[in-house]
Structure 1
């Protein structure tokens, strides 16, 4: 079975974070073709509306909704979940993320380092708020989108938010590693409780804008950009292809909880396949300590609805 095999998801509802651009957009577009209702969770509602318009131009009968979602602001998440207006949710794709390039360390409204707050803490808290809806859906799934960059990073549990040594690219890689550790730890805790919800970790490989098909007015690469990127096509691919592991993890019921999926060719390009994660991505001790820290920093826990939001 491959992701292209026309798998249907009529009657199901999927939430994709960061769905107005890049890999998140293509995941939403491809999932819309399955017949499911796809909710685009985006910080900018205008960009979400534009993305929905583009998807409808390409997917006949697309069932789409949007909610405003700002993962960097933990206090906003309960209202976002309420705005979903559903009793059950079949899958959430934890895709949204930011990569800051400047040398200055920036912080979220709650004072957390901004990449760690957006890429990890916001998703951790979002899953906690969504837990009742995921539990209510038979065979629901949490799809955590990691990054190839996480392979070369290691968490510093004594400096999770880069307060003492901030380097933007390293902090980004560590935030994505934190997300992958969370996805595997979520699987362990779901299995320990006998839950039917699955936690699957994916990564898009090396996905370049210049190798991505145009979606005007969202994105239109120039001829010069495409020509310059042609040599990279040997080892990398576009963001439409980077979305394929996500879509397969959502739709393919043969994929089971706790698995890692990414591109077949060196983990950088090609069709989705089942990978063996690097040990530092699944280390139970590190993941448990990260989970404890995440719960303390966000004030919520996916398995404890009694905790209070910050």
Structure 2
């Protein structure tokens, strides 16, 4: 059942202070990840933007710094599609502990042909799921050094009506772009819930939580030049859609709450309160297929084999 009794006490516009906390946001240079980073920076936390593109990361840091005086934001070169690079990226983090990581980066939902990484993995599955799976493994020492640390994984409505093909996880035999994307997001969410079960079994204080952003449109997102620019015409044309969906600034709220709220528990799903599409964040019922422990265990074993890592097994 949802645990919503304390929701009115949480104000998305008056976040608790978080000085001394360190948070890594993958894909924090654009989209929802940017607003997660901006909002967390406003609490006094040190925010690390994990991003392949240094130029885009610098633009995001400049934008955040212009809106948050004294913001502590830095860039970490991070390529989730390159599994062999992830340990070196984590080793380059100049932190003695990590309070949270927000697994936000991903290949955008469009209609690309099937592509593979240098490791031979399908690009969407590799970036959205396998990269975050392996990154969690390498981050484990920093996370376990922090009591109550959090691993927040970004889910998607696209995963709600999908099921994994456990015999074809990388869409080798039947590739359809939208379905491959949805299944990669489903894999992320199954991973996050399985991770929390394993953390609880190991009596770890680290929590694994899923944040679902709801429906987010660029046309409803406030401008943050040069990261994002919205014209008045775009805003007016799509104003009615604001009754159903929201901007990417609001879509960041579930992840930000999952990082900061002391009442958040491991294994929860946080999403917008209005039909899961818009509004302030609340805990909601876990979708039935996300509680499929057999599929999650199968996925975990396959991911360990494909990445050579085990996020619950140390480094």
TM-score range (shorter-chain normalised) is over 0.9
Deviation at 1:100, TM superposition (A): 5.1
User: Which residue of 2 is the match for residue 124 of structure 1?
Assistant: 133
Kindly indicate whether the alpha-carbon contact (under 8 Å) linking 1:99 and 1:168 is maintained by their aligned counterparts in 2.
no
Q: How many residues align?
A: 306
Match of 1:135 in 2: 144
**SS of alignment partner, residue 262 of structure 1:** strand
Work out the CA distance in 2 between the residues paired with 1:64 and 1:222: 27
* Residues 8-23 of structure 1 aligned to structure 2 (within 5 Å): 8-23=17-32
The secondary structure found in structure 2 opposite 1:264 is strand
User: Counterparts of 1:181 and 1:38 in 2: how far apart (Å)?
Assistant: 26
Question: Residue 32 of structure 1 corresponds to which residue in structure 2?
Answer: 41
Which range moves more in the overlay, 29-38 or 103-112? Answer: 103-112
Distance 1:242 1:282 in 2: 24
TM-score normalised by length of structure 2 = 0.95
CA distance in 2, matches of 1:245, 1:273: 7
State the alpha-carbon separation in 2 of the partners of residues 4 and 200 from structure 1.
Answer: 22
Of the three residues 199, 212, 217, the one matched with 2:226 is 217
Alignment of 1:255-294 (within 5 A): 255-294=264-303
Q: Does 1:84 align with 2:89?
A: no
2:208 is the alignment partner of 1:203 = no
Equivalent positions of 1:67-82 (< 5 A) are 67-82=76-91
Determine the C-alpha separation between the residues in 2 that align with 1:108 and 1:158: 20
| CA distance in 2 between partners of 1:263 and 1:172 (Å) | 21
Mapped to 2, the partners of 1:302 and 1:42 lie a distance apart of: 21
Q: Does 1:113 align with 2:89?
A: no
**Contact kept? 2:99, 2:146, Cα under 8 Å:** yes
- Of the structure 1 ranges 4-13 and 229-238, higher mean CA displacement relative to structure 2 is found in 4-13
Q: Secondary structure at the match of 1:38?
A: strand
